[in-house]
Amino acid sequence: MQKNTAWLQADLQQLPKDYRTQLINSITGFKPANLVGTRDVQGQTNLAIFSSAVHLGADPALMGLVSRPFTPTVSRHTLNNMKELGYFTLNHVHESFYEQAHQTSARYPKEVSEFAATGLTEEYIGDFPAPFVAEAKVKIGLKLIDMLPITYNNTHFIIGEIVFLQVPTDCLEADGKLNLTQAGTVAVSGLDTYHRTEQLGRLPYAKAK
């Protein structure tokens, strides 16, 4: 029989901070791994890994992203750039560069671009103003629509509208579905663990019997 460990709310509050952070960050399940590319109006670029991208809707094509908390001591270059420029990019993280992608989470000063610091390559496509990651096979250009404040912990729910999308043709299935396993896109768990995937199955649209 399975042995379990359980916590009530008061137990969670009494856990050591680092332990609770590891635990709570891993319980939602597997998360997407994306690099968010931004720049300020002076041209200084920033690249940051986010595991909180979420589908909001297909028509209009909208996506959400949870920011980390604003605190008096930490500056949020990504969010400031998004507000300044009004645009940002989302780029899939693949097995071939997940270590470089993780390294973007280090706290670099604003004058250091995480592109340069991690060896990933800035790419500009057409007249889209924010930088893409050349190494990413799936590239999304977004227009900032809103930042809903989540007052409970000083985070924001960022809403972006998809205005550009590029995917590898050989990963695009006949009905529009993207084969992420074939693209080599990784999944994240917790704060720091990366996974490749193997497809178990694609299921038909479910109908009540």
Phi first, then psi: give them for residue 80, nearest 5 degrees: -60, -45
Among 66, 70, 122, 147, binds a copy of itself (CB under 8 A): 66
Residues within window 12-51 making contact with a copy of itself, judged by CB under 8 A? 12-13, 15, 17-34, 51
Determine contact, residues 34/50, Cβ cutoff 8 Å: yes
Does 182 bind a copy of itself (CB under 8 A)? Our answer is no
Residues within window 125-154 making contact with a copy of itself, judged by CB under 8 A? 137-138, 140, 145-146, 148, 150, 152-153
CB of 56 to a copy of itself, least distance (A): 6
Q: Which residue has the tokens 């610091």?
A: 117
Ranges of beta strands (E only) in 15-53 are: 31-32, 34-39, 45-50
Q: Which residue, 54 or 74, is less far from a copy of itself as judged by CB? A: 54
Q: Which residue, 38 or 51, is less far from a copy of itself as judged by CB? A: 51
Does 111 bind a copy of itself (CB under 8 A)? Our answer is no
CB of 25 to a copy of itself, least distance (A): 6
The C-alpha atoms of residue 70 and residue 76 are separated, in whole angstroms, by 7
Query: What is the distance of C-alpha 198 from the center of its chain?
Result: 21
Phi first, then psi: give them for residue 56, nearest 5 degrees: -110, -35
Among 14, 60, 72, 111, binds a copy of itself (CB under 8 A): 60
Q: Which residue, 4 or 42, is less far from a copy of itself as judged by CB? A: 4
Residue 58, helix vs strand vs coil? strand
Nearest CA to 138 out of 88, 91, 180, 95 is that of: 91
The secondary element (H helix, E strand) that includes residue 24 is helix 17-26
Does 116 bind a copy of itself (CB under 8 A)? Our answer is no
Does 74 bind a copy of itself (CB under 8 A)? Our answer is no
CB of 80 to a copy of itself, least distance (A): 18
CB of 163 to a copy of itself, least distance (A): 4
Strands 187-189 and 31-32: antiparallel
159: amino acid identity, one letter: I
Among 41, 43, 58, 78, binds a copy of itself (CB under 8 A): 58
CB of 178 to a copy of itself, least distance (A): 4
